[in-house]
Copies of this chain bind each other. A is one copy, B any other.
Amino acid sequence: MALIVQKFGGTSVADPEKIKNVAKRVLSKKRDGNQVVVVLSAMSGETNRLTDFALAMQDIPDAREMDVLLSSGEQVTISLFAMAVKAMGGECVSFLGDQVKIETDSSHTRARIENIDSDRILGELNSDKIVVVAGFQGVAENGDITTLGRGGSDTTAVALAAALKADACEIFTDVEGVYTTDPNMCSSAIKIDKISYDEMLELASLGAKVLDIRSVTFAKQYNVPVHVRSTFTETEGTWVVKEDKDMEGKVVSGVTYNKNEARITISGVPDQPGIATKIFTPISDADIIVDMIIQNQDTGNGMTDMTFTVIRSDYQRTLKLLESVVKETGATGGIHGSDSITKISIVGVGMRNHSGIATTMFSILSREGINISMISTSEIKVSCIIEEKYTELAVRALHDAFELGKDSLPEEETL
């Protein structure tokens, strides 16, 4: 008998019929002899409906009250799910975040889970019930409802799996798993059977939307095997697990891209201590998140350039903020930038043992005539900023060159 946590997202519970299908699927897992805990999101569309209401009330809705509002969405799906299971002859009980003490800090709309009391859930499981828990929500020390932010239900599921020492956490979604790259961009993309936590972390932070990054962090920390798979088929998906020997064989596991950034350069700033603080303090004070930062070496004239990326929707606001910085620092080259860029990345744990992967990436892009304007690397990934219009070309070229796809064998060998 295994203990499985199954998480279904908003598209999987979008209407009463879909909720019934999920109930049927969960019941079948239960009847196979497993203990099952289900985590649900709000019906797709519901969060937007509620957010529209909130925006009709207040330009920037109060964060505490926003959490009270949005958490009602999962409350609806878990109760309907429990009814559906009971109608099918199963036993089921629903719990809200505060009822199973999913304790978080008090950062409303983006709270972090700190602790979960597993006793109540284990008790219900042992009396042979399916337990359904509201995703996305928790409770702060003072009893206030908190929410975990976009993708928070993934985190709820993995955190529950960790607290319950579950055998696996299954994340059901509308795709079949994690792909070597976006299949919409590259038809030879294939589903990855097994990927390490670290690779998944890089993929998630680089723009792959299939799994929320915080859930991967939790999974890694507590060593929870996560199975990302489709709600609508029985096909095996992608297992996100602890790194093993097999994985090192493949140098690059995936290619990913992110079109949601913008690049800004402030040129001709005096190369002296404290210059970075002067530039970035007003930006962080404005709650603008900076991703990549590159400072060029002083080329001899005592001046340097500072280039960085921000989320695209913060581009205009950042440019405005920098106007006073230019005056203050006496930057002679002014500000320039672009909001039509893409960050393209390759990820793979095998890179640790292989040199020259970054160089290979640069030469592939160069062969296609694609200019690289920024580079950033970690132990298991290389990212390049390129012009947005080259995204598809770059993805396909890298995917082919690193032999990730189903058509990856050299042409002569397939013949």
Residues of A bordering B, CB below 8 Å: 16, 19-20, 50, 53-54, 56-59, 61-62, 64-66, 68-69, 71-73, 75-76, 78-80, 82-84, 86-87, 93-94, 96, 98-99, 143-145
The distance in angstroms between the C-alpha atoms of A177 and B98, with both chains bound, is 39
- From known contacts A57-B20, A80-B53, A86-B62, infer whether A94 and B75 are also in contact, taking CB-CB under 8 Å: no
B76 touches A57 (CB 8 A): no
B72 touches A84 (CB 8 A): no
B87 touches A59 (CB 8 A): yes
Q: Identify whether the interface residues of A are mostly helix, strand, loop, or mixed.
A: helix
The distance in angstroms between the C-alpha atoms of A96 and B145, with both chains bound, is 10
Partner of A54, one of B64, B83, B98, B99: B83
A69 touches B79 (CB 8 A): yes
B84 touches A58 (CB 8 A): yes
The distance in angstroms between the C-alpha atoms of A64 and B94, with both chains bound, is 9
Q: Which residue of B lies closest to A71 (CB)?
A: B75
The distance in angstroms between the C-alpha atoms of A56 and B87, with both chains bound, is 10
The distance in angstroms between the C-alpha atoms of A99 and B53, with both chains bound, is 23
Report B-chain residues with C-beta under 8 Å of the C-beta of A96.
Answer: 68, 145
B19 touches A57 (CB 8 A): yes
- From known contacts A65-B94, A75-B68, A75-B72, infer whether A54 and B80 are also in contact, taking CB-CB under 8 Å: yes
B65 touches A82 (CB 8 A): yes
A80 touches B57 (CB 8 A): yes
The distance in angstroms between the C-alpha atoms of A57 and B82, with both chains bound, is 9
